[in-house]
Amino acid sequence: MAARRKVRAKEHSAPPPARRRHDRHLLPQDPYHQLLTMPWSLYFALIAFAYVAFNFVFAWLFLLEDGSIAGARRGFADAFFFSVQTMATIGYGEMRPETLYANILVSVEVLLGLVGFALATGVIFARFSRPTARILFSDVAVVTPYDGRPTLMFRAANQRRNRILEAHVTLTLARNEITAEGSWVRRLRDLPVERQRTPLFQLSWTVLHVIGPGSPLHGATQDDLAGQDAELIATIVGIDETLSQTVYARQSYAAEHILFGRRFADILARGDGSREIDYSRFHETVD
């Protein structure tokens, strides 16, 4: 009997986290998407590398024919800087193409240089103009009594000094569950919140989900969530008042970041007839 129980326990143990493996049906990496999402430092490093490599190749091509550049005296260095002047259409006048071969190379390089500058400028503009939301989420979510009911809550704050109009929040619980046939599946369950929409999201927003009998979290403990590899996914979508474009932000809380028996510290201060929000305690929790 003990051996049979061990076998059953092994059969119903939670599966490890899923990982993507290479598949021939998956699309290859999108270079344009990578250029938009890579860090600025990496993007400018890539541009600098492409710029130097481009001029290095054309300098070598110019040197394939002796005397192709009139006024060149220092070999490869002059050929490289002549390529730089040609690509940027500077034309200082000290050096010029001398032969038909050099003039053909100059024509090709100018065309490629114009296209390259246009593409690089377009990507920079797309990176700058892409609407983004600067929303700060609390480091953890807590489960604590609120109005006499157990409630899951987390905090969000607008880090910009403008407002997000018609902001909506959605809360989803992802966890491993066993089907009636005894198979493990990864299921997503929507969690209703007390106030799903706010017309003006300017300062802070505490999102509340009451854990009642119909809640997927009813009766769950932190150990239960850890055993189910549970994850809480929060998404806020709204219209940026300045850009008049839709922006969104997403945050996920793993089981170890969902704290039971704790509550958020008070960040609202009152005095002299005014109200102040202390963001230094935004992530702080107390018993």
At 228-273, the pLDDT tens digits run: 889 999 999 999 888 888 889 999 999 999 999 888 888 877 666 6
Q: Find the length of the chain.
A: 287
Q: Per the structure block, which two tokens stand in for 276?
A: 């102040």
What residues does CATH 1.10.287.70 cover in the chain?
Answer: 31-129
The lowest-confidence range among 1-5, 18-22, 162-166, 206-210 is 1-5
* Mean per-residue pLDDT, 143-162: 89
Which residues make up the CATH 2.60.40.1400 domain(s) of the chain? 135-286
Q: Are 97 and 120 in contact (CB under 8 A)?
A: no
Q: Let me know the angle formed at the C-alpha of 166 by 162 and 170, rounded to the nearest 5 degrees.
A: 110
Average pLDDT rounded to a whole number, residues 29-43:
87
User: How much is the pLDDT for 173?
Assistant: 92
**pLDDT for 78-116, tens place per residue?**
999 999 999 988 888 888 888 999 999 999 999 999 999
Average pLDDT over all residues of the chain: 85
Percent pLDDT > 90 in the chain is 40
Position with higher pLDDT, 29 vs 53: 53
For the entire predicted model, the pTM comes to 0.71
Q: Amino acid identity, residue 121?
A: T
| pLDDT for res 285 | 86
221 has a pLDDT exceeding 60: yes
Say which residue the tokens 């198979």 belong to.
183
Residue-level pLDDT at 21: 63
Best-predicted range by mean pLDDT (50-64, 126-140, 154-168, 196-210): 50-64
Residues 6 or more apart whose CB falls under 8 angstroms from that of 82 comprise: 59, 62, 69, 72, 95
pLDDT at 7: 37
Q: What is the pLDDT of residue 51?
A: 95
Selecting from 3.30.70.260, 2.40.110.10, 1.10.287.70, 1.20.1600.10, what CATH number does the domain 31-129 have? 1.10.287.70
pLDDT for the residue numbered 23: 57
Work out the average pLDDT over 20-35: 69
Amino acid code (one letter) for 140: V
CATH topology classification for 135-286: Immunoglobulin-like (2.60.40)
Question: What mean pLDDT comes out for the span 209-224?
Answer: 88
Predicted pLDDT of residue 8: 40
pLDDT at 284: 84
Buried b (16+ CB within 10 A) or exposed e, 224-262: ebeebbbbbebebbbbbeeeeeebebebebebebbbeee
